[in-house]
Chains A and B, each alone.
Chain A
Amino acid sequence: MDPYELQTFRIAYEVTSAVICFILVRFMVKPYQFTKESRYLGLPLGFGFLGATYALSALVYYQPYLFGNGTIYFQLILRSYAFVFLCVTYYFSRKSVENSRRKLWNVTLVLLLASLLTFFVITNIPVVDLPSYSLTSSFTRVFNLVCLVYLCAHTLRSHIEKPDPGTLWIPFGYIFLAVSQYALIIYALDASMSAWWSALAIRWMGLAIFLIISCKSFHCVKRGIS
Chain B
Amino acid sequence: MKKIAHRDRLKIYGDLLAVLQAESKEEKIVLTRVQVHINVPFDRLKTYISELCDLGLIEDQTSCKLTDKGRQFLVEYEQVLDFMKRMGIAYR
B46 surroundings in chain A (CB, below 8 A): none
Is the Cβ of B88 less than 8 Å from the Cβ of A224?
A: no
How many angstroms from the CA of A224 to the CA of B74 in the assembled complex? 7
A129: CB under 8 A from chain B? no
Task: Choose from B8, B21, B86 the contact partner of A224 (Cβ within 8 Å).
Answer: B21
A65 surroundings in chain B (CB, below 8 A): none
Task: Choose from B5, B6, B21, B80 the contact partner of A35 (Cβ within 8 Å).
Answer: B80
For the complex formed, measure the closest distance between the CB of B6 and the CB atoms of chain A, giving whole angstroms: 6
Is the Cβ of A217 less than 8 Å from the Cβ of B91?
A: no
B18: CB under 8 A from chain A? yes
Is the Cβ of B83 less than 8 Å from the Cβ of A217?
A: yes
Is the Cβ of B84 less than 8 Å from the Cβ of A31?
A: yes
Which parts of A96-150 form the interface with B (CB within 8 Å)? 96-97
Is the Cβ of A97 less than 8 Å from the Cβ of B92?
A: yes
Is the Cβ of B86 less than 8 Å from the Cβ of A40?
A: no
A5: CB under 8 A from chain B? no
Interface of A is mostly: helix
How many angstroms from the CA of A170 to the CA of B18 in the assembled complex? 26
Is the Cβ of B79 less than 8 Å from the Cβ of A218?
A: yes
How many angstroms from the CA of A167 to the CA of B84 in the assembled complex? 9
How many angstroms from the CA of A226 to the CA of B18 in the assembled complex? 9
Task: Choose from B83, B88, B92 the contact partner of A155 (Cβ within 8 Å).
Answer: B88
A169 surroundings in chain B (CB, below 8 A): 86
The chain B residues found within 8 Å of chain A, CB to CB, are 5-6, 8, 10, 18, 21-22, 71, 74-80, 82-92
The chain A residues found within 8 Å of chain B, CB to CB, are 27, 30-31, 34-35, 40, 43, 89-90, 93-94, 96-97, 154-155, 157-159, 162, 164, 166-167, 169-171, 213-214, 216-218, 221, 223-226
A-B contact pairs, 21 of them (CB 8 A): A30-B80, A35-B80, A40-B89, A89-B89, A90-B88, A96-B6, A97-B92, A155-B87, A158-B88, A158-B90, A159-B88, A166-B85, A218-B79, A218-B83, A221-B75, A221-B78, A223-B75, A225-B18, A225-B21, A225-B22, A225-B74
